[in-house]
Amino acid sequence: MLESSTLPPLLEGRNLLAFSGGVDSTALYHLLKERNIPFDIALVNYRTRPQSDEEAAYAETLAARDGKRLHLHTAKIGKKDFEHRARRERYAFFERLIQTHGYDTLITAHQLDDLLEWHLMQLCKGAGCAELVGMRPLEEREIANRETEIGKGEARSYRLVRPLLLTPKERLLAYLKARGIRYYVDESNYDETYTRNRFRQQAAKFLMEESPEGIARSFRYMLEDAGTLAASPEILFRHGELTLFRHPKEETLLMRQIDRLLKRNGCLPSGAQKREILQKRDVVVAGTWAVVIEPERVWVAPYRRAVMPKPFRERCRKAKIPEKVRPYLFETEGLEALLSLPLFSS
């Protein structure tokens, strides 16, 4: 069931498995163990359900039995915009572990049903070929040090690996049942007040029951095609969470590159926000990220407000640094590094 293309990277470095105790991550835990692939586990306990603590205790039991290190994080998140905030909290935790403990790979248990749900949601929003695929078995990601937590300026890369991405959930469930392996069911996955759950129950579930093999084949073809469409941006400068890259000229590719950078930092722009970015070219997305599109380059940076001294503002003005980006450069002391670049030193 594990995708063969994902196995070599898992044998090359230190791996961290995102674990929940549910069907997908429990199956992946045991499949990795069968292949003698080394890994530690990380679990976020949101304490939103009575069995949340049971799942955390289950993770502790597995880790103790199999000699694995468990990283456990308890998070308190309100009901408002829970899915988005939970995801952001989760990945912030994983990336802190990657930074602190030197993990090379984050392994997640996304499977074919998840991929189909994402596909259908993007299809209904309006998306191009690359966005319709969304997740990939292997991705290279970069995380910037957060000044308040780890340090300043430097970025660290890691691999995001999804070994089960083309495996139907039903096969994982059958695997667990055949071996009598304990797992938990998150009842909130059936709550159709969440958009994704409606797509799961009313559309994806039927399609997966009808044609799982055909759906897997289609996504294999789309993943191959998407690889040619998802060119990475040409990075000109990176400091902390600020990225400056060369304008790719093609508007479709431009939006894909901006979208990918925002998503890597936990910001998921809506269709309306993407249209606003391309129309206004100088915007703040969701109140947290500044995106400025210039004829030759594009800025993506956390949006801050700061009282900046006049000499600092004047240097930024002369270098033609966008106003929405200046406060972040001021807070992170990144201006000197930026102005040392040839494109600003003339």
User: Do 69 and 209 share a structural domain?
Assistant: yes
Express each pLDDT in 172-195 by its tens digit. 999 999 999 999 998 777 777 778
**Which residue, 226, 254, 277, sits at the end of a domain?**
226
Identify the CA nearest to 106 among candidates 115, 96, 94: 94
User: Do 151 and 40 share a structural domain?
Assistant: yes
**Which residue, 226, 258, 276, sits at the end of a domain?**
226
- E strand or H helix that includes residue 312: helix 310-318
| Domain span at 182 | 4-226
Identify the CA nearest to 284 among candidates 311, 335, 322: 322
What's the pLDDT score for residue 102?
93
Q: What is the phi-psi region of residue 320: left when phi exceeds 0, alpha when psi lies from -120 to 50, beta otherwise?
A: left
**Which residue, 187, 207, 226, sits at the end of a domain?**
226
What's the pLDDT score for residue 85?
86
Express each pLDDT in 135-177 by its tens digit. 889 988 877 554 433 334 445 789 999 999 999 999 999 999 9
Environment class of 257 (CB within 10 Å of its CB; exposed 0-12, middle 13-18, buried 19+): buried
C-alpha 64 chain-centroid distance: 29
What's the pLDDT score for residue 346?
52
- Taking 70 as the pLDDT cut, the residues of the chain under it are 128-130, 144-155, 227-231, 345-346
User: Do 183 and 82 share a structural domain?
Assistant: yes
User: Do 291 and 169 share a structural domain?
Assistant: no
